[in-house]
Amino acid sequence: MNSGSLLRKISAVFGVVAGGVALASCGQQTSGAAGDDSGTPSTPEVSPISPCELVTAADLKEATGISFNEGQKRGPQCYYATADYASTASVSTGLDTVADHLDTKKITISGADAVEGRPPEGDQCLVDVTLGPDAPVETLSTSMSGIDPADKPCEIATAIAEKALAGVKD
């Protein structure tokens, strides 16, 4: 797969999960990221933290009671799926994912300001945690999708955020 195709695929994933907010953030480069000594251009970097290192499938099971496969890293996001792929969770760093078109509510997670957003259908929830200027990234985001609204997807996304937040603070 060539790099243009890979970037289009990554951009499509960001569009589904986070809409235009993630796409706008995707093109940001950190200083000095123009290339390496080999002359090969480097991929834009959004966050110095690998989201798949923040939580494992075992951590998610402990936090939510749901069994997930190990995470798959895609850019600044890590995706976890249930064995039947009916439900998915994600953890990302450096991106604001809660878009204006969602029903939002301000919350607090482990002392940090956060916002949760859900679409009217209610089968998914996104949570953005503001980490502040002294953190390695400004935002930690989690999501839960494809879950019965009766199973409270925002409570699950919040539990994932609490678990991932502990990984950021370590």
**Average pLDDT, integer, range 103-124:** 91
Q: Where are the domains of the chain?
A: 47-169
Instruction: Report yes or no on whether pTM surpasses 0.75.
Output: no
Class of CATH domain 47-169: mainly beta
Higher pLDDT, 14 or 75: 75
For the stretch 146-160, pLDDT in tens is 999 999 999 999 999
Is residue 48 classed exposed, middle or buried when 0-12, 13-18 and 19+ CB atoms within 10 A define those classes?
A: exposed
